[in-house]
Structure 1
């Protein structure tokens, strides 16, 4: 019997198990290391945090820690410089945040103590890791670099001991790259698939959308802790993402997919019009499709309509996307004044022309806080509304005020004991379903107002 009590068969299976390589923040390289004390800890089998990563770095340089204590310092220095160049090439093949950096490894012999018996200074060899920034021609100690770069560099150094090892190794990473920003996480993800994954198996957990590649959907697993205080026995379930019933669990996947879709939407060279939601999108599209064949002003076909998910995100869209794209914005709603002020400020900061910010309330004949629904006459909007609700309304049942149509509908609905809000997108869908019937009865004022808006949105 073996120590596991399973006999020869168990021992045979145990020998088939791969090695496991686990890396966390505790294995970060120090900026410098006393080689003498490192060798002492290695001989005593009492390595400290970061020691194994340092030994892996030296192994990459073709050195053992005790080799650096050799008196033949000149050859050691040359080997360290060669290793520095090799490591720089490997690290900066994937680290794209600053390509002007290079790794410099060198040893020094500082005084570390005074011998109490002889009063003589005792010097010990210290290995220093520095980064040379060619842009400013300065060197900084590795320990002073950003936490993200230190993690990335340390991981590559630590894994180098296993990368080309003939023995199977499973690399385990728990929330890797948390200190890296989004683009740097993307760099690390490329390293995982292009470098790590081609040599050894890699398993990692993450909550970050930037650590997820939607094109490798089949390799993902969702981990859902279903246990509650009332039912702790439900435990943890691991499933393919498509089978996870918990939306919060797969939120990073949704975010990664949404980011990928958004990036592709923005690839076009034409202007991008930010609107609040899907109802704006549908109304603009369908009205434009009707007006264009008649030779009337329609939405410029070069404009891509982007629903940004709410009026509150409009300023951020203009501020961020306006730096590298032709951006326009259509502002409506009860918070028009405050939102417009922020959008104008964001536009000015990134050089977006103020005339590309269109406020619906500035069009003739519309309320100051007009919504896109106010481009329809009351009759036309109720025509769509009554086909999407169980309780239809007539124009005479709405308050006779100059308020936006949605506010007047809210009053009428609440008077009838219904919730004041309703599904605007569902109502916009009716314009698609009943498109032909709607335009047969459409008021000229409705068409004129949309045409006026399209002229405001025209591309220069």
Structure 2
């Protein structure tokens, strides 16, 4: 059974969140500023679980109405057939067919812990099967036993200890240290074997095999250097003293073997994060889980945050739905903006959830967009404000610098009301176009002429149904650098006229690895200074600016 969407009423800062539809790829991201209410949304979902209750502390100060949370589940036929209903067999069969035909149902939980179907569905069931409200609510409660667990993480502070005595421990449930439970779960170590096998060589080999198992998977997701080393091992060693057998836990690199607490705070966090999520994923593998994570990776630098996203994508989301909150652009894939929901705390309305393509002129909406804009490779300074009336979407930052240099110069000038918006590559363009469409803004697209651009052009015109007169494909070459003549390119861009570019190479091929650097230098050199272009260069760039001007004529 899979969650499709949710709506929260009267929970802390939330009066009515509005419906929040979850992403189809099992990862949904709640993005927004601090104090927007992202944590409150996750905690409300946590409290929807059958083992939790809504407390009086969750009631908002500005409303006398009680907490209520609604979730729509997509029904699986096999799960419906396993419902244990205390009723006549014929009635049970008819009820199962009713649910299967529905395909989805909305279950709500009201303060403190009462489950029921939403009112319209409940009334339909009572009428269809001549049942009273109590019996129908009992069906809702039974159905909840088959929904995925809500597993909430708001910190990953449980660190593997230096030493752990096996002592009288007979099973995992006897262990109080969560990090040790997680390690034993993920590495599949047998506690009894560790306690009773007295052959140190055999135990050493046994631990080596299981250490290799956990290390191999961990290093698939942790790609950072530790103390300058890019390969580490997560290991457990069994030792003995007067108090009996115990395990030592180490993080080992080619030069040293250290306790986890001796490693960086970021590494400690990621190790705890990995063990916690993998252990819960294993434990909840049969019925599944909805994994709720509050601000993952806040201690990590950008590249390590991308490792967090990779772990969620490859190891957790294939089996479980994931909902996490963030205001970090590094946890947002610019090619998967369908995952993102904006969380905004608005005066008199409380916390609400919105899609990024919703049209909203409020300042808090623009602030909430910050991590999304950054993820798409855009500077969020005023010059890249995406709420302009007229917008020109460009493939990359080099396009922005070359066109920005000329936009105010004689023969090329365009209105200051027109915004040039650089993307993080051609594949980011459709997402920005979707936002423009949703916001009702005017826009045009300027694209290269290469295979990737051809692919995106087809997507824009065939899937998003954009008129081809809104798209300009560069003429005179395949990329923006090819708009310069050879002479102007070596003189003004490379700034070394002794260089001769082979006739079988385009300008863009020659500077493939230095595009951003050269375009920024060109911008810095000529934005506020005179520039002399030859006729070939003028002709190519004038076509671009004429397209822009003509596109936004009143």
Superposition TM-score tier, normalisation by shorter sequence: 0.5 to 0.7
User: Are residues 323 and 78 of structure 1, via their aligned partners in 2, closer, same or farther at CA, if it must alter by over 3 Å?
Assistant: farther
- 1:125 alignment counterpart: 245
State the alpha-carbon separation in 1 of the partners of residues 394 and 371 from structure 2. 16
Match of 2:350 among 230, 235, 244: 235
Match of 2:315 among 195, 198, 209: 195
| 3-state SS in 2 of match to 1:329 | helix
| 3-state SS in 2 of match to 1:178 | coil
Contact 1:96 1:187 in 2 (8 A): yes
Contact 1:274 1:330 in 2 (8 A): no
Match of 1:181 among 296, 301, 325: 301
| 3-state SS in 1 of match to 2:353 | strand
- 1:95 alignment counterpart: 222
1:248 corresponds to 2:440: no
Contact 2:233 2:253 in 1 (8 A): yes
Q: CA-to-partner distance for each residue in 1:14-71, whole Å, 9 max, x for gaps?
A: 21221122234344322424234794997678x3xxx223212112232355653335
- 1:282 alignment counterpart: 407
Q: CA-to-partner distance for each residue in 1:353-400, whole Å, 9 max, x for gaps?
A: xxxxx5x7xxxxxxxxxx726669xxxxxxxxxxxxxxxxxxxxxxxx
CA displacement at 1:132 relative to structure 2:
1.7
Contact 2:297 2:305 in 1 (8 A): yes
1:9 corresponds to 2:129: no
TM-score, length basis structure 2: 0.46
State the alpha-carbon separation in 1 of the partners of residues 394 and 169 from structure 2. 51
| 3-state SS in 2 of match to 1:78 | helix
State the alpha-carbon separation in 2 of the partners of residues 326 and 126 from structure 1. 60
Contact 1:61 1:80 in 2 (8 A): no
- 2:187 alignment counterpart: 61
User: Are residues 63 and 285 of structure 1, via their aligned partners in 2, closer, same or farther at CA, if it must alter by over 3 Å?
Assistant: farther
Question: Once superposed, what is the RMSD of the aligned Cα atoms?
Answer: 4.6
- 2:153 alignment counterpart: 23
Q: For structure 1, which runs of at least 5 residues remain unmatched after alignment? A: 111-121, 267-271, 305-320, 333-357, 361-370, 377-428, 435-460
State the alpha-carbon separation in 2 of the partners of residues 296 and 94 from structure 1. 45
- 1:85 alignment counterpart: 212
CA displacement at 1:168 relative to structure 2:
1.0
| 3-state SS in 2 of match to 1:166 | coil
State the alpha-carbon separation in 1 of the partners of residues 293 and 485 from structure 2. 61
Q: For structure 2, which runs of at least 5 residues remain unmatched after alignment? A: 1-84, 87-112, 116-133, 385-392, 414-474, 476-481, 495-512, 533-544
| 3-state SS in 1 of match to 2:152 | strand
CA displacement at 1:301 relative to structure 2:
9.8
CA displacement at 1:330 relative to structure 2:
5.1
Across the two proteins, how many residue pairs are aligned to each other?
A: 301
Match of 1:153 among 271, 281, 284: 271
Deviates more, 1:54-63 or 1:74-83: 74-83
State the alpha-carbon separation in 2 of the partners of residues 433 and 326 from structure 1. 27
User: Are residues 61 and 194 of structure 1, via their aligned partners in 2, closer, same or farther at CA, if it must alter by over 3 Å?
Assistant: closer
Larger-gyration structure (1/2): 1
Deviates more, 1:178-187 or 1:34-43: 34-43
TM-score, length basis structure 1: 0.54
- 1:329 alignment counterpart: 521
State the alpha-carbon separation in 1 of the partners of residues 173 and 281 from structure 2. 25
- 1:218 alignment counterpart: 338
**What is the 5 A alignment of 1:36-75?**
36=166, 39=169, 47=176, 51-63=177-189, 65=191, 67-72=193-198, 74=200, 75=202
State the alpha-carbon separation in 1 of the partners of residues 394 and 546 from structure 2. 30
State the alpha-carbon separation in 2 of the partners of residues 302 and 373 from structure 1. 12
**What is the 5 A alignment of 1:380-459?**
433=549
State the alpha-carbon separation in 2 of the partners of residues 236 and 256 from structure 1. 23
CA displacement at 1:224 relative to structure 2:
0.7
State the alpha-carbon separation in 1 of the partners of residues 375 and 163 from structure 2. 40
Q: CA-to-partner distance for each residue in 1:276-319, whole Å, 9 max, x for gaps?
A: x9642425796799xx9999964559949xxxxxxxxxxxxxxx
State the alpha-carbon separation in 2 of the partners of residues 28 and 13 from structure 1. 34
| 3-state SS in 1 of match to 2:368 | coil
| 3-state SS in 1 of match to 2:139 | helix
More strand by share: 2
CA displacement at 1:162 relative to structure 2:
3.4
- 1:315 alignment counterpart: none
State the alpha-carbon separation in 2 of the partners of residues 259 and 431 from structure 1. 23
State the alpha-carbon separation in 1 of the partners of residues 143 and 278 from structure 2. 27
